[in-house]
Chain A
Amino acid sequence: MDIDKDGSPSPIEFRLDPGSGVPTYLQLVQQVEQALRLGYLRQGDQLPRVKDIVAGLAINPNTVLKAYRELEHRGLVVGRRGVGTFVEGTLGKVGLREQAALQKSMLAWMRTASKAGLDEDGMAALFTAALHDLRQSRDVLVDEEDGGGRAGVVA
């Protein structure tokens, strides 16, 4: 695993967007979730070490610890004292190929929307509204899953 050129044991690297208005710890949480969804991170992978992150991004170590605590709370990672933090749960059990297919059909929808005169903000608003409808119709379903199934709530 230690083949990364800067010696980091983790397959991912964080970046910060200072203009996003999203608190720093939450940016880290979201990037781990995103990496899980996209398959950059898998079960057993190590997250970047706290020291490596702060030495790269110049942020307070407590911010990283807070992000890792939150990820642990969400059941996605587990911290091993003196060793590091490792991926434990999964987000979305959809395979990469299936994801690519879904993205393709979404792209088709977006082209249709664009032809109909909808701009990007309009599409995002529609997507959010539809997501809201989906969540309401599915609220009952979430309780069925147990154990690592909590991940469904996060999205």
Chain B
Amino acid sequence: MGIAIETSGLGKRYGRTWALRDCSLAIPAGHVVGLVGPNGAGKTTLLSLAVGLATPTAGEVRVLGGLPAGSPAALDGVAFMAQDAALYRNLSVADMLRVGRNLNRRWDTARAQGRLAELGIRLDKKVGALSGGQRSQVALTLALAKRPKLLILDEPLAALDPVARHDFMAALMAAVAEEDVSVVFSSHVVAELERVCDYLVVVQGGQVQVAGEVEDLTAGHHVLTGPAEQVDAIAQRFPVVRDRRASAQAHLLIRTGDLSAAPPGWQRHPVGLEELVLAYMREPSASMLPGPARARSEQVAC
């Protein structure tokens, strides 16, 4: 299996603006990866480069254990669902399936039709006449019909109501349970990531700020609550991601896996993924990345 997406020194410039800069990342295969960050952080750029829809200005990006992004071998193994489930609105669902079959070397028509029947989506309906939730399910069906090894989705939840969002994620997770596919998706819905993602990447200002397995990230961070006058002493002992203090009390989000880290008079609390992500997004200067050595060893181990 190995690596799903690997970038080194990756950069993309539009005009005079770097949308993504000096991005080095190794995402192991077999995960459901959440890609988060503020608007304009470079999420869509990173995904487009991994799919091969854009070419890098600097550095390189490889997928599925070393295939150059956008190469024919990579295209066979990667499926992409663009923002707003970009489909031809004037085509019927059946015609959309036909388009998919003709544009891909590997295509499982029976599987696609079976999925749509299960969802109760009629083949003779025009794509434009479907609800937003149905449209996204058709797009997911098309993406899965090519039996990808890596499925990349750009903001799949953005346009969906809560029920459609839940149904979409349920369908996606069922696909992950049934076969051997790595999933990378960008999202603004931070609260819903915790149930779904087991790997997290935070990008900010065109750079990767946090990357790692969710379990490691939550086990490796804690909130300490205690007297404000001792904050500076604590900050010398542990890396502080976020520092919130009032006149008497302070809450510090610190990075350490050490469970005995709480000094006398301080309380230690576990931290959830949402709190962690928001803290990093609010503090652009903090970062948490596996070193290059670790990324390498993971490559060997998988």
| A pairs with B | yes
Question: Which of A16, A21, A55, A56 meets B195, CB within 8 Å?
Answer: A16
B195 touches A57 (CB 8 A): yes
Q: Which of B170, B177, B272 has the most CB of A within 10 A?
A: B177
What is the CB-to-nearest-CB distance from A29 to chain B, in angstroms, rounded to a whole number? 15
Complex alpha-carbon distance, A63 and B272, angstroms: 16
**Contact flags (1/0) for B264-277 with A, using CB distance below 8 Å?**
00000000100000
B173 touches A58 (CB 8 A): yes
B177 touches A54 (CB 8 A): yes
Complex alpha-carbon distance, A61 and B263, angstroms: 38
**Contact flags (1/0) for A22-39 with B, using CB distance below 8 Å?**
001000000000000000
**Contact flags (1/0) for A4-44 with B, using CB distance below 8 Å?**
00000000000010100100100000000000000000000
B169 touches A61 (CB 8 A): no
**Contact flags (1/0) for B165-194 with A, using CB distance below 8 Å?**
011011111101110000000000000001
**Contact flags (1/0) for A50-65 with B, using CB distance below 8 Å?**
1100111111111110
B170 touches A60 (CB 8 A): no
What is the CB-to-nearest-CB distance from B222 to chain A, in angstroms, rounded to a whole number? 15
Count, chain A residues at interface, CB 8 A: 17
What is the CB-to-nearest-CB distance from A86 to chain B, in angstroms, rounded to a whole number? 19
Q: Which of B167, B196, B272 has the most CB of A within 10 A?
A: B196
What is the CB-to-nearest-CB distance from B252 to chain A, in angstroms, rounded to a whole number? 20
A60 touches B272 (CB 8 A): no
B170 touches A24 (CB 8 A): no
Complex alpha-carbon distance, A13 and B196, angstroms: 19
B174 touches A60 (CB 8 A): no
CB proximity to A under 8 Å, residues B187-234: 194-198
A60 touches B196 (CB 8 A): yes
Complex alpha-carbon distance, A61 and B173, angstroms: 7
Name the CB-closest residue of A to B192: A58
Query: With A16-B195, A24-B194, A51-B178 in contact, do A59 and B173 touch (Cβ < 8 Å)?
Result: yes
Chain A residues near B167 (CB-CB < 8 A)? 58
A59 touches B196 (CB 8 A): yes
Q: Is the interface of B mostly helix, strand, loop or mixed?
A: helix
A63 touches B195 (CB 8 A): yes
Chain B residues near A63 (CB-CB < 8 A)? 195, 198
Name the CB-closest residue of B to A50: B177
What is the CB-to-nearest-CB distance from B118 to chain A, in angstroms, rounded to a whole number? 10
Complex alpha-carbon distance, A84 and B281, angstroms: 41
What is the CB-to-nearest-CB distance from A18 to chain B, in angstroms, rounded to a whole number? 8
What is the CB-to-nearest-CB distance from B276 to chain A, in angstroms, rounded to a whole number? 14
B178 touches A60 (CB 8 A): no
A55 touches B272 (CB 8 A): no
Chain A residues near B198 (CB-CB < 8 A)? 60, 62-63
What is the CB-to-nearest-CB distance from A33 to chain B, in angstroms, rounded to a whole number? 21
Complex alpha-carbon distance, A63 and B195, angstroms: 8
Q: Does B32 contact A (CB under 8 A)?
A: yes
Chain B residues near A18 (CB-CB < 8 A)? 195
Complex alpha-carbon distance, A50 and B166, angstroms: 17
Chain A residues near B32 (CB-CB < 8 A)? 60, 62
Chain B residues near A24 (CB-CB < 8 A)? 194-195
Complex alpha-carbon distance, A56 and B169, angstroms: 10
A60 touches B166 (CB 8 A): no
- 9 A-B interface contacts by CB (under 8 A): A50-B177, A54-B174, A57-B195, A58-B172, A59-B196, A60-B176, A61-B173, A61-B176, A63-B198
Q: 7 tightest CB-CB pairs across the interface, nearest first? A: A58-B169, A61-B177, A54-B173, A58-B170, A55-B174, A59-B195, A51-B177
Known: A24-B194, A58-B173, A59-B173; 12 extra A-B contacts, CB below 8 A, are: A16-B195, A54-B170, A55-B171, A55-B173, A55-B174, A57-B195, A58-B196, A60-B197, A60-B198, A61-B173, A63-B195, A64-B177
